Amino acid sequence: MTTAPAEIATRASGDRPAGRRRIPVRHKGAIAVFIVPFGILFVLFYLIPILQAVWQSMLVVEREGTFGEATEVFGGFAQYALVFQNGPFWASVVRVLTFGIVQVPVMLGLALLFALLLDSPLVKGKRFFRLAFFVPYAVPGVIAAIMWGFMFSPNLSPFTALTQNVDFLGADLVLWSIANVVTWVFVGYNMLIIYSSLLSIPTELYEAARLDGASQWRIAWSIKIPLVRPAILLTAVFSIIGTLQLLAEPQVFASFSSAVISTYTPNMTIYATASVPNSSLAAAFSVVLALATFALSFTFLKITQRKDAAE
């Protein structure tokens, strides 16, 4: 089959043939109605605050004389130099990373287990258990931390026989007491994400596996878990971000335990620095923490993608 010279010229020039004209987009006004409000809110409450934080982190305070009026001037990366010299801040980063290495796998493991149980035909009363697993997430983090703080306190807990012998609020265990609160709150949230992914798997796969003699355990291990891997990775990224942003729970536990100091987590360090007030240094802390969170999440995704490609 030959191609007409006119058609060749048309393709070479990048123009579409007469019979393949671009379909015009309809209802552009309706599309704008939905996009413009989001764009305005995104710029006002996301983009501008980020730019403001970056600019604030570039400022330093100068005074004329000992008691002169303080003025903010451009100082370049002076605040970032102070960030990298701040030992308590980096100690708090190491603390939350240690927290995440243990807490995140435990939380996601429980979420996956509960999701598989809800998806199993052997479990009865799925509606009740689905609601029961999710209810803790409906409790605000501050309320949950107060509740568990009372339960861990030796003199206030209803389990005094245990709390008077095990110091859950001591320096050695308070981090893991906080991890217990975070796990209790967010297991149900992550479980719903994984469970929703399980519901999207075609039932024909299960029927074929049962015809081949596969047990429920084998179906879960060989079919369900591999197919919900993207949902598990999504919850893992959310959990990594949440770990580095840990604030409400340790701040509440500071009222119950002297081991939780003002620089216990990176966000607590930022909050304490801004309260001095030293907003420029706090902004520099925030920018560095945001970049560290992005780098850690991006690295995690790249590693998992390479493993998937290798398999």
Phi, psi of 100, rounded to the nearest 5 degrees: -70, -35
pTM score: 0.83
DSSP states along the chain: ----HHHHHHHHTTPPPGGGPPPPPP-HHHHHHHHHHHHHHHIIIIIHHHHHHHHHTTEEEEESSSSPPEEEEE-TTHHHHHHHT-HHHHHHHHHHHHHHHHHHHHHHHHHHHHHHHHH-TT---HHHHHHHHHHHHHS-HHHHHHHHHHHH-TTT-S-HHHHTTS-TTSTTTHHHHHHHHHHHHHHHHHHHHHHHHHHTS-HHHHHHHHHTT--HHHHIIIIIHHHTHHHHHHHHHHHHHHHHT--HHHHHHTTT-TTS-TTSSHHHHHHHHHTTT-HHHHHHHHHHHHHHHHHHHHHHHHHHHHHHHH-
Q: Has domain 81-310 been given CATH number 1.10.3720.10? A: yes
How many other CB atoms sit within 10 Å of the CB of residue 210? Answer: 13
d(CA 35, CA 288): 31
Domains of the chain, by residue range, sit at: 81-310
Task: pLDDT tens for the chain, 311 residues: list them.
Answer: 444 444 444 444 445 555 567 777 677 777 888 899 999 999 999 999 999 999 999 999 887 766 667 788 898 999 999 999 999 999 999 999 999 999 999 999 999 999 999 998 888 888 888 888 889 999 999 999 999 999 999 888 888 889 989 999 999 999 999 999 999 999 999 999 999 999 999 989 999 999 988 888 999 999 999 999 999 999 999 999 999 999 999 999 999 999 999 999 999 999 999 998 899 999 999 999 999 999 999 999 888 888 777 66
